[in-house]
Homo-oligomer: A and B are copies of this chain.
Amino acid sequence: MTAADRVYAIIKQRILDGQYPANSYIREATIGQELELSRTPIREALRRLVSDGWVEVIPHHGARVVSWTQRDVEEVFELRVLLEPQVVRRAASRIDPSRLDSLGELACHMEQLCERGDDLAIDEIAGLNNRFHAELITAADSPRLQRLLEAIVQVPVSRRSFHHYSGEELHSSMRHHREIIRALAAGDGEWAASVMRAHILAARAAQLHPPAR
């Protein structure tokens, strides 16, 4: 792994952490001094972040962390509704039993955390949920589909999404996981895709129209 790769990962992580807030500028010299690197690998990392849509460049002024509007969130959900069902549609005919098992374990773990229901548990669920989706993408065995999803499913959107869920919505999400596993085990891609579609649309509804609590 080269220095530019590391810088890319570090900056991305800091954007996710909120350490680099939206609309803030990332100074090449500043981060270069901090990591004890020259501007060269920093610049390369920033270019990649630009082409991946994490930051935007204002000419002669710098690299600014992009800010997300409501419209951006809607655009992402619109695309996820198309692509994530395709993931499981493919996975249904390709997944092997061992991966089904690990999906089951993830679902089980998430359900247990769901019973606790506190904020920390919800954070953990978010992490496990990401792993769940990542396993599915691997099972789908389509590098391009994976790349597209990674390009649009910015974690800023999904990271704290479960905090928008009501208890009912959270349980519903868990049931979706189980049903997707059953559909995959049955090798039924359309069934799995339908559940996934509902899963994403439910997430969208929770995100866009947070229930009063």
Contacts and interface: CB of A to CB of B under 8 A. Distances in A.
Interface of A: 1-2, 44, 47-48, 51-53, 59, 72, 75-76, 78-79, 82-83, 86, 142-145, 147-148, 151-152
Q: How often does this chain occur in the complex, in copies?
A: 2
Given A75-B144, A79-B86, A148-B152, 12 more contacts: A2-B59, A47-B48, A53-B144, A53-B147, A75-B143, A76-B144, A78-B86, A78-B145, A79-B145, A82-B82, A82-B83, A148-B148
A128 B53 CA distance: 29
A142 B72 CA distance: 9
Contacts of A59: 1-2
A41 to B, nearest CB: 12
Name the residue in A48, A72, A142, A144 with the highest tally of chain B Cβ atoms < 10 Å from its Cβ: A144
Contacts of A75: 142-145
A12 to B, nearest CB: 15
A72 B147 CA distance: 13
A1 B144 CA distance: 29
Contacts of A53: 144, 147
A144 B52 CA distance: 11
Given A78-B86, A82-B82, A147 B142 contact: no
Contacts of A1: 59
A46 B66 CA distance: 24
30 contacts: A1-B59, A2-B59, A44-B47, A47-B47, A47-B48, A48-B51, A51-B51, A51-B52, A53-B144, A53-B147, A72-B144, A75-B142, A75-B143, A75-B144, A75-B145, A76-B144, A78-B86, A78-B142, A79-B86, A79-B144, A79-B145, A79-B148, A82-B82, A82-B86, A144-B152, A147-B151, A148-B148, A148-B151, A148-B152, A151-B151
